[in-house]
C-alpha cells in the first residue's frame, strides 16, 4: 500500500490540515477494519482516507480517525484526489467518490479540488437554555451569541453543532472543556462543535474553529464537511447567495491557517473546495 501525508486547504507545506492517504491496488480488497484503524492510529492525523479505484471515474473511499471509522471527511477527500491527480496523473474533470455517506461528486481543476456535499438539512435548533451549556463548555456565555444567528445542528453528510460567536476575540480566546464537549457530542449525537465568527466581508465569509474530541480530535485546522454545513446555514438565512465563492478561514489558533472555499449552485448543490500539497510519500512495510 502506498502512503501519503497531505496538507489540505493550503498551497504551502506545513499549512492547512494534514490527512493520511492510502492508495490500494485496484485488485486488492479493503484491508480488515482493525488494520485500517491501526494504520490511522500510526499516522496520527485526524483522518486517513483509504482509496480503491473501481473504474476510470469511480473511487471507493473509507475514512478512519485515530479513534474510529467515520462516514465522510472533506479534507481527506481533497487530499485523496490531490494524490490521484499528482501521483497517478488523473486528468481534470468530474469523478465520483463512493463513501459511507453516499456517492460524492468530485471535480478536479488544475489548482483546486471541489467536492459536492450531501443535501443540507437542519436537525435541531437549540433553545437559549440548551445553548448556554454549549457556550459554557468554552468558557463563554449566551451573551456571546451574535444577534440573528442561532446555535443549531446541521448536516451536509455529517452532523455538527454550529456555534456562532460575536467577535474574533471570543473565537480566539475560547477554551474547550474537553470532557464537557465529549458529553454534549454524545448527548446530541454529533461529530463535534464548529464555532464561527460570521465576518461576512468581501474577503472572509467566516472565521472558524472546529472541535471533535469524541473522535480523538481536540481541534482541527480545516473541516470541509463542517464548512459545508455552515454554507447551508448561512444561505438559508440569506447571508450568502447562489454561486458566490465563499471563504472560510480555520486553523489560525493552531498556527496552521487554512482556506476552505465553498459555493452553492442554483440547484442548491453545495461544494467545498481547496488546494492541497503532498508532504510525505512512502509504502507500508509488509
pLDDT of residue 272: 95
pLDDT of residue 118: 87
- The set of cell numbers assigned to 181 is 464537549
Domains 2-117+274-283 and 121-261 share a fold: yes
Residue-wise pLDDT for 191-216, tens only, equals 999 999 999 999 999 999 999 999 88
User: 176 to each of 139, 172, 181, 192, how far by Cα in Å?
Assistant: 7, 11, 7, 12
pLDDT of residue 170: 97
Residue-wise pLDDT for 105-114, tens only, equals 999 998 899 9
Best CA proximity match to 81, nearest among 93, 71, 69: 93
Burial label, 87 (beta-carbon count in 10 A; 0-12, 13-18, 19+): middle
Residue-wise pLDDT for 54-94, tens only, equals 999 999 999 998 888 988 888 999 999 999 999 998 999 99
Pair type for strands 112-116 and 102-109: antiparallel
Q: Which helix (H) or strand (E) holds 273?
A: strand 270-274
pLDDT of residue 173: 96
pLDDT of residue 285: 79
Pick the CATH number of 2-117+274-283 from 3.10.310.10, 2.30.300.10, 3.40.50.300, 3.40.50.2300: 3.10.310.10
Using CA atoms, how far apart are residues 256 and 84, in angstroms rounded to an integer? Answer: 24
pLDDT of residue 1: 86
| Per-domain residue ranges of the chain | 2-117+274-283, 121-261
DSSP string, 146-169: PTT---EEEESSSEEEEEE-SSHH
Using CA atoms, how far apart are residues 279 and 36, in angstroms rounded to an integer? Answer: 21
- The set of cell numbers assigned to 229 is 454545513
| Cα-based angle 95, 25, 215 (whole degrees, multiple of 5) | 70
User: 178 to each of 91, 134, 185, 217, 286, how far by Cα in Å?
Assistant: 43, 12, 10, 10, 37
* Residues of the chain with confidence (pLDDT) below 50: none
pLDDT of residue 72: 87
CATH (residue range 121-261): 3.10.310.10
Amino acid at each position: 500500500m502506498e502512503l501519503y501525508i497531505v496538507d489540505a486547504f493550503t498551497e504551502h507545506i506545513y499549512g492547512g490540515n494534514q490527512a493520511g492517504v492510502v492508495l490500494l491496488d485496484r485488485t486488492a480488497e479493503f484491508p480488515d477494519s482493525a488494520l485500517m484503524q491501526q494504520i490511522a492510529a500510526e499516522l496520527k492525523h485526524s483522518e486517513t482516507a483509504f482509496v480503491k479505484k473501481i473504474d476510470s471515474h469511480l473511487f471507493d473511499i473509507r475514512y478512519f480517525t485515530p479513534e474510529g471509522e467515520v462516514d465522510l471527511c472533506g479534507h481527506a477527500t481533497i487530499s485523496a484526489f490531490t494524490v490521484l491527480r499528482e501521483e497517478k496523473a488523473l486528468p481534470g474533470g468530474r469523478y465520483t467518490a463512493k463513501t459511507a455517506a453516499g456517492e460524492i461528486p468530485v471535480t478536479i481543476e488544475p489548482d483546486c479540488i471541489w467536492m459536492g456535499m450531501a443535501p443540507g438539512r437542519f436537525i435541531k435548533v437549540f433553545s437559549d437554555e440548551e445553548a448556554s451549556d454549549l457556550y459554557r463548555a468554552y468558557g463563554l456565555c449566551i451573551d456571546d451569541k451574535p444577534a440573528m444567528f442561532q446555535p443549531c445542528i446541521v448536516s451536509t453528510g455529517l452532523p455538527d453543532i454550529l456555534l456562532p460567536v460575536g467577535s474574533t476575540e471570543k473565537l480566539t480566546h475560547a477554551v474547550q472543556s474537553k470532557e464537557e464537549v465529549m458529553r454534549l457530542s454524545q448527548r446530541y449525537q454529533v461529530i463535534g462543535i464548529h464555532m464561527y465568527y460570521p465576518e461576512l466581508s468581501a474577503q472572509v465569509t467566516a472565521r472558524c474553529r472546529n472541535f471533535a474530541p469524541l473522535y480523538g480530535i481536540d481541534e482541527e485546522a480545516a473541516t470541509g464537511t463542517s464548512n459545508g454545513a455552515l454554507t447551508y446555514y448561512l444561505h438559508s438565512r440569506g447571508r450568502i447567495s447562489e454561486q458566490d465563492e465563499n471563504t472560510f478561514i480555520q486553523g489560525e489558533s493552531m498556527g496552521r491557517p487554512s482556506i476552505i472555499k465553498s459555493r452553492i449552485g442554483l440547484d442548491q448543490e453545495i461544494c467545498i473546495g481547496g488546494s492541497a500539497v503532498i508532504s510525505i510519500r512512502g509504502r507500508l512495510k509488509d
